[in-house]
Amino acid sequence: MQTVGIYAKINHPDAPTLVRNICTRLQKNDINFLLEPWLGKALNSESVAAKDVIPRRSDLIIVLGGDGTLISVARQVTPLQIPILGVNLGSLGFLTEITQHELPAMLEMVLTGQYEITDRMMLDVEILRQGKVVEALTLLNDAVINKGTLARIIDMQTRVDGNYLTTFKADGLIVSTPTGSTGYNLAAGGPIIYPGINSLVITPICPHMLTNRPLIVSSDSVVAIDVSFTDDVVYFTGDGQIGASLEPGDRVQVRQSTARTYLIKSPNRNYFEILRAKLSWGER
């Protein structure tokens, strides 16, 4: 390991101190580091690079923040198959499993190669307009079609592998990975999918028909959604962070990506412990 790239939730008060400690530990092991510009400024360090450049020059990525911070970094890191160590600066996260207290010991384990990696499936999403791709994205969590505040119900004609499924009449539609199943999908009434089970979850948002229910399909499936609406306030959102306006007749096409996100696992807890902690299972 020659270089470690470090990202942090911008302007988080704990981040500079934690990053300084990480950098000191790396320097003792003759390992270089690269920081986001705002971190470099906070630490008065010249070892900085642009957010999209850091992964190309790193062998390991450390992310300090919450799940949202890690997801945004994952889209930069994924094409290079670099492992990510997620450190949570708030409450325990689904993806940022390591606590601040655990960080020193975990960093030592990582630097000596004593760690396990789990890989997460991702989505390739295309927005087609009159048959031409106008937007192409790779996402970790979910692809969402959602109406604006004053828009009417959207008609979303949905096909799986070319086979007509149904036309959802709803406020929107979510196509989620197992990783994203604990996000917007869960809030919309969708199921929790264990990350090791590669699949796609199709979940309508506030469907007009009460008989519409979430559907789990194979990760090898291609989900195509043709949108029809009379208002001009319907949006596509990826991972809850990036998006685009849709036009009537647009098609949103979702499939499993060949890219994967590689996360360093916590040795102190498993996925089910995280579920219990985050969702308060077992509490009265």
What is the DSSP secondary structure assignment for residue 111, as one 8-state letter? H
Cα separation, 143 vs 137, whole angstroms: 10
User: Is the confidence at residue 269, as pLDDT, over 90?
Assistant: no
Q: Would you identify the CATH topology of the domain 3-116+265-279?
A: Rossmann fold (3.40.50)
Q: Characterize 245-274 residue by residue with b for buried, 16 or more Cβ atoms within 10 angstroms of its Cβ, and e for exposed.
A: ebeeebbbbbbbbebbbbbbebeebebeeb
CA separation for the pair 45, 48 (Å, rounded): 7
**Using one digit for the tens of pLDDT, what is the confidence trace for 161-199?**
999 999 999 999 999 999 999 999 999 999 999 998 999
Residues annotated catalytic, as ranges: 67
* Residue intervals in the chain for CATH 2.60.200.30: 122-258
Asked if residues 137 and 238 have their Cβ atoms less than 8 Å apart, the reply is yes
Per-residue pLDDT band at 11 (split at 50, 70, 90): confident
Tell me the pLDDT band of 210, cut-offs 50, 70 and 90: confident
> Which residues, at least 6 apart from 154, have a Cβ–Cβ distance to it below 8 Å?
145, 147, 168, 169, 170, 171, 172, 173, 227, 228, 229, 234
Q: Residue 283: is its pLDDT beyond 90?
A: no
Q: Is the per-residue pLDDT at 238 higher than 80? A: yes
Residue 158, CB-side half-sphere exposure with 13 Å CA sphere = 26
pLDDT digits (tens, 9 = 90+) for 107-158: 999 999 999 999 999 999 999 999 999 999 999 999 999 998 777 889 999 9
The pLDDT of residue 180 is: 96
pTM above threshold 0.85: yes
Query: Smallest Cα–Cα separation from 222: which of 259, 255, 176, 199?
Result: 255
Name the band, by pLDDT with cuts 50, 70 and 90, for residue 251: very high
**Sheet-wide strand order for 242-245:** 215-218, 199-205, 172-176, 142-147, 234-238, 242-245
β-pair type (222-228, 251-264): antiparallel
Supply the mean pLDDT for the chain: 93
pLDDT value for 209: 86
Share of the chain above pLDDT 90, in %: 82
| Neighbouring-strand partners of residue 142 | 176
Q: What is the 3-state secondary structure (H, E, C) of 176-230?
A: ECCHHHHCHHHHCCCCCCCCCCCEEEEEEECCCCCCCCCEEEECCCEEEEEEECC
DSSP percent split of the chain into helix, strand, coil, nearest 5: 25, 40, 40
List pLDDT tens digits, range 90-113.
Answer: 776 899 989 999 999 999 999 999
Work out the angle at residue 70's Cα, subtended by the Cα atoms of residues 38 and 274, and round it to the nearest 5 degrees: 135
pLDDT of residue 239: 96
The CATH superfamily assigned to 122-258 is Probable inorganic polyphosphate/atp-NAD kinase; domain 2 (2.60.200.30)
pLDDT in tens, 69-80: 999 999 989 888
Contact 173, 236 (CB under 8 A): no
What is the per-residue burial (b if ≥16 Cβ within 10 Å, else e) of 39-59? bbebbeeebbbeeeebbeebe
Would you place residue 30 in the very low, low, confident or very high pLDDT band (cuts 50, 70, 90)? very high
